[in-house]
Amino acid sequence: MDVVFNQLFAGLSMASILLIIALGLAIIYGTMGVINLAHGEFVMLGAYATWALQNFVGLGVVTALPLVFVAVAAVGWIIEKLMVQRLYHRPLDTILATWGIGIILQQAVRLSVGAESRFVKGPELLSGNTEIGALVMSNYRLFVIAFSIFVLVGSWMLMTRTEFGTKLRAVIQNRGISECYGIESKRIYSITFAYGAGLAGIAGALITPLFSTIPTMGTGLVVDAFLVVIVGGLGSLIGAASASVLIGEATALLSAVMNDTLGRIAVLAGIIILIRFRPRGLFPSDTRN
């Protein structure tokens, strides 16, 4: 029984990481229909920014978060202005172009920082474990779970409770009419892309104590995040959240039953079958046609 609880916690921890990575991707995909394969590299940039802030400025992972968010959002904003903006009418081409951007970012980091793995220290305050009976939970992972819920709620508030969110949803529903009402859809798109990139940066910062920070860390992450977004449904925040919990828990439990690799293969097979029968995801929202 203890094994089950520990695996459930491991699954939840994985889900929280998936969620925080996929959230930015879901927002970008849902708003603009852009499949951003450079998202993994935004995560990687966030991780390296955290490493740099810790090494050269002496900030901790948590205190660095706002700065990392702003830095990666700025990178995203520039990329949107330079490139993505020209490709809105060619959604499949964005897959290719953002993959190219990913290569460039990856190489830029490899050339400037180096290919070797970088170490980032987790916060002292969160270093221990919380034990309930035989269930051992790392405090830092608990923090990540809490933080991912916070980011989810924050994004939801941003989308539904602010003027920006209202404008964004208007643009998603009908770009032309929104522009007639004086909403600058280009600006909305830029900000949204930057916000999504910033979220990826935060994800990168949060996972640094758990993953090894290397230039290629993003490639695997983006595939997972991409699958979460598709399973969750086009641009649906609640879909992304439930899909990450589903995929995280399924991976953890199946890994315990079989082994890590076979568990992952089984989950991928499940995802393929799910997309086949529900191509619009678990929570399809009827926006953007």
Partner 1 sequence: MNSRFFYDLIALALFSAVIILGVPALMGYDGFELNTFARYLSLAIVSMALALSWGTAGLLNLGQAATFGMGSYVMAMHLKLRASDGLPDFMGWNNVEKLPAVWVPFESLSFTLLAGLLVPAAVGGLIAIFMFRARIAGVFVAVITLAFLVAFQLLVIEQQGLTGGQNGLTGLAPLTLPGWTVDTYSVSFYYLVAGCLTVALALGVYLSHSKFGLILRAIREDADRTRFFGYNVATYQTVIFCISAALAGWAGMLYALVLEFASPTYMGVSFSLAIVIWCAVGGRESVLAAAAGAIIVNVLEGRLSDVFVEGWHMLLGIVFVLVVMFMPRGIYGVIVDVVRRLNEARRGGRENAAEEALLPATIQTNRER
Nearest one of 19, 35, 7 to 245, comparing CA atoms:
19
Out of 57, 78, 108, 146, name the contact with partner 1 by CB under 8 A: 108
Out of 67, 74, 83, 142, name the contact with partner 1 by CB under 8 A: 83
Out of 104, 134, 153, 157, name the contact with partner 1 by CB under 8 A: 104
Smallest gap, in angstroms, from Cβ of residue 236 to partner 1? Answer: 16
Out of 2, 66, 93, 116, name the contact with partner 1 by CB under 8 A: 93
Site string for partner 1, 198-217 (x = CB under 8 A): --------------------
DSSP annotation string for 22-60 = HHHHHHHHHHH----TTHHHHHHHHHHHHHHIIIII---
Residue 1 binding partner 1, by CB under 8 A:
no
The CA angle 194-126-250, to the nearest 5 degrees, is 65
Quick one: 4 or 269, whose CB is closer to partner 1?
269
Smallest gap, in angstroms, from Cβ of residue 207 to partner 1? Answer: 19
Nearest one of 131, 109, 137 to 49, comparing CA atoms:
109
Smallest gap, in angstroms, from Cβ of residue 270 to partner 1? Answer: 10
Angle between helices 39-52 and 217-232 (to 10 degrees): 130
Quick one: 41 or 249, whose CB is closer to partner 1?
41
Quick one: 108 or 157, whose CB is closer to partner 1?
108
CA distance 86 to 81: 8
Out of 77, 88, 99, 147, name the contact with partner 1 by CB under 8 A: 99
Out of 66, 91, 128, 154, name the contact with partner 1 by CB under 8 A: 91
Smallest gap, in angstroms, from Cβ of residue 201 to partner 1? Answer: 20
Residue 132 binding partner 1, by CB under 8 A:
no
Nearest one of 192, 190, 277 to 235, comparing CA atoms:
192
Ramachandran bin of 288, using left for φ above 0, alpha for ψ from -120 to 50, beta for the remaining angles: left
For residue 19, what are the contacts with CB-CB under 8 A and spacing of at least 6? 148, 152, 228, 240, 241, 244, 245
* Residue indicated by tokens 């940039």: 45
Token readout for 210 is: 């758990």
Smallest gap, in angstroms, from Cβ of residue 121 to partner 1? Answer: 29
Binding site for partner 1 (CB under 8 A): 35, 83, 86-87, 90-93, 95-97, 99-104, 107-108, 111, 219, 223, 226-227, 230, 259, 261-262, 264-265, 268-269, 271-272, 275-277, 279
